[in-house]
Amino acid sequence: MNLQSDFCGIRSPNPFWLASAPPTDKEYNVRRAFEAGWGGVVWKTLGLDPHIVNVNGPRYGAVWGPDRQLMGLNNIELITDRPLATNLAEIKTIKRDYPDRAVVVSLMVPCEECAWTEILGQIEETGADGVELNFGCPHGMSERGMGSAVGQVPEYIEMVTRWVRNATRMPVIVKLTPNITDIKYPARAAQQGGAHAVSLINTLSSITSVDLDSFCPEPAIDGKGTHGGYCGPAVKPIALNMVAEIARDTQTANLPISGIGGITTWRDAAEFLLLGAQNVQVCTAAMTFGFKIIDEMTAGLSLWMRDKGFESLDDFVGRAVGNVTDWQYLNLNFVTKARIDQDLCIKCGRCYAVCEDTSHQAIAMRQDRTFEVIDEECVACNLCVNVCPVQDCITMEQLRPGQLDLRTGRVVTDERGDWTQHPNNPMSASA
């Protein structure tokens, strides 16, 4: 299967890149990544000398599932803590040895045009394929006026992006922070500044936990903690939404997106691609399992593409964007009811407990612990489906046009009807 990717002119043998982060901090790691089969890397963010320093205590905090499954990871690591020249030399070597892979360099320097101009010249000499502007990191650097301090002000994004465009002919990717209210504005600003693409999301400001004995947030450095950047499987839904928001915004619809945020398996990647990302960047999954996961990702995506009859990424990138809409356009005449498969039911009663306590009292509990949906009360909220421990035991069944909805007493119609037409809407077209 052809997984060849072309991301705003940067070619890679597959759409799986390693995001700018510890896995791409050094030649040694990147070499291992390319040997393992990764399509590209975004080198760990470079800054100006003198290079920054990191804490010497723990850099990561975590949220675990019961079997220590890593659900979310939080870090207080800063950008690279090695001299600029060291990084540049290694980037050059890597690009020379792996010409078919994407090597993009992440950058973060102070908000002065000369600083950007200076570093961009040096990056170009390495032969790197492009740059990614780190306007995302929410910790440490943002307090120094960089990272998300830029990404949270659309005017700054536009200004700096324009400086960079003026200073280089390399493709420019702007990495966005999710620590904002509406992702469309930073994306539009990047586009206005001339960005070739955006990548998102960077990490979310977070405190993962507080030690109940020391009263200190984790990770603790000598009795104190600070907020870090949160990533991993837990942030994927937030990232998917932000990617979709940019993809379906008419102003940025044609702006290439590199999807980032909790991508752990090929399925996650496929979802990002369907929502408009042209490639994906992975970090936490690699930091949890090592680089070998790339084999699962490429094989899984290939097989799915074959099953769907897709020959290249272009065949399906953005296929789901048209299906993302605003709430007001959802069809209110689409009616479903929960259905419990009694053969699969193990009688735990969770559906009953949650429906009775927190929802619509639409499940009846019979004498022998048989649970049945009360159609007169069921609003089809899906909570029972979501809490049921048995897959496919509770499902949603669509009422067909002509059938009676016992809750509303109305016959289901095959006509569409959304909020814009609803009589209760003062702004309704029919009102």
Partner 1 sequence: MAFPDAITEDSVKAGKLSSRQIALNFTDLHPPLDEHQAAVEAARCYFCYDAPCIAACPTEIDIPLFIRQIASGSPETAAITILESNILGGLCARVCPTESLCEEKCVRQVAEEKPVEIGLLQRFATDRIMARSSHPFQRQPATGRSVAVVGAGPAGLACAHRLAMKGHDVSVFERRTKSGGVNEYGIAAYKVVDSFAEREIEWLLGIGGIAIHTNAPVESYKDVLRLREDFDAVFLGLGLGAFNSLMVEGLQLRNVEYAVDFIERVRQAEELTDIAVGNDVVVIGGGMTAIDAAVQSKLIGADNVTILYRGDRSRMKASRYEQQLAAHKGVKIVANAQAAAFRGNGRVEEIKVTRSAVAGRDGLVAERLPADQVFLAIGQQLVEPPLKLRTERGKIAVDSFGRTSLEGVWAGGDCVAPGDDLSVTAVAQGRDAAEDIHASFGES
> Looking at the annotation, which residues are catalytic?
137
Helix (H) or strand (E) holding 43: strand 40-46
Least distance between partner 1 and beta carbon 286 (Å): 25
- Alpha carbons within 13 A on the beta-carbon side of 417: 13
Alpha-carbon distance of 399 to 393, in angstroms, equals 18
Pure H helices in 39-169: 84-97, 113-126, 148-151, 154-167
Binding residue for partner 1 (CB under 8 A) from 144, 292, 306, 347?
347
- Where does this chain touch partner 1 (CB under 8 A) — which range of 66-74, 202-210, 226-234, 403-411? 66-74
Residue whose CB is less far from partner 1, 307 or 343: 343
Binding residue for partner 1 (CB under 8 A) from 67, 213, 222, 307?
67
Residue whose CB is less far from partner 1, 151 or 217: 217
The total number of residues written for the chain in this structure: 431
Alpha-carbon distance of 200 to 272, in angstroms, equals 11
Helices (H) and strands (E) in the chain, counts: 12, 22
What b/e readout covers 164-203, taking b as 16+ CB neighbours within 10 angstroms? beebbebbbbbbbbbbbeebbbbbbbbbbbebbbbbbbbb
Residue whose CB is less far from partner 1, 68 or 400: 68
Long-range contacts of 373-379 (CB under 8 A, 24+ apart): 373/337, 373/338, 373/339, 373/340, 375/337, 375/405, 375/406, 375/407, 376/406, 376/407, 377/407, 378/337, 378/338, 378/407, 379/407
- Where does this chain touch partner 1 (CB under 8 A) — which range of 137-145, 214-222, 296-304, 348-356? 348-356
DSSP-assigned letters across all residues of 269-281:
HHHHHHTT-SEEE
Least distance between partner 1 and beta carbon 179 (Å): 30
The closest of 346, 276, 345, 279 to 317, measured between CA atoms, is 276
- Where does this chain touch partner 1 (CB under 8 A) — which range of 65-73, 77-85, 89-97, 165-173? 65-73
Binding residue for partner 1 (CB under 8 A) from 36, 52, 348, 364?
348
- Where does this chain touch partner 1 (CB under 8 A) — which range of 192-200, 218-226, 347-355, 419-427? 347-355
Alpha-carbon distance of 341 to 321, in angstroms, equals 33
- Where does this chain touch partner 1 (CB under 8 A) — which range of 48-56, 125-133, 313-321, 344-352? 344-352
Alpha-carbon distance of 163 to 327, in angstroms, equals 39
Least distance between partner 1 and beta carbon 367 (Å): 12
Binding residue for partner 1 (CB under 8 A) from 28, 56, 66, 307?
66
Least distance between partner 1 and beta carbon 385 (Å): 15
Least distance between partner 1 and beta carbon 48 (Å): 45
Binding residue for partner 1 (CB under 8 A) from 350, 383, 384, 399?
350
> x-or-dash pattern for partner 1, window 357-396, by CB under 8 A?
--------x---x-------------------xx------
Alpha-carbon distance of 287 to 259, in angstroms, equals 18
Residue whose CB is less far from partner 1, 354 or 412: 354
Alpha-carbon distance of 257 to 280, in angstroms, equals 9
Binding residue for partner 1 (CB under 8 A) from 352, 378, 380, 405?
352
Residue whose CB is less far from partner 1, 353 or 381: 353
Binding residue for partner 1 (CB under 8 A) from 28, 53, 68, 430?
68
Total chain residues near partner 1 (CB under 8 A): 15
Q: Which two tokens stand for residue 292?
A: 């070998």
Nearest-5° Cα angle at 120, 116 to 123: 145
**Binding region for partner 1 (CB under 8 A):** 65-68, 346-350, 352-353, 365, 369, 389-390
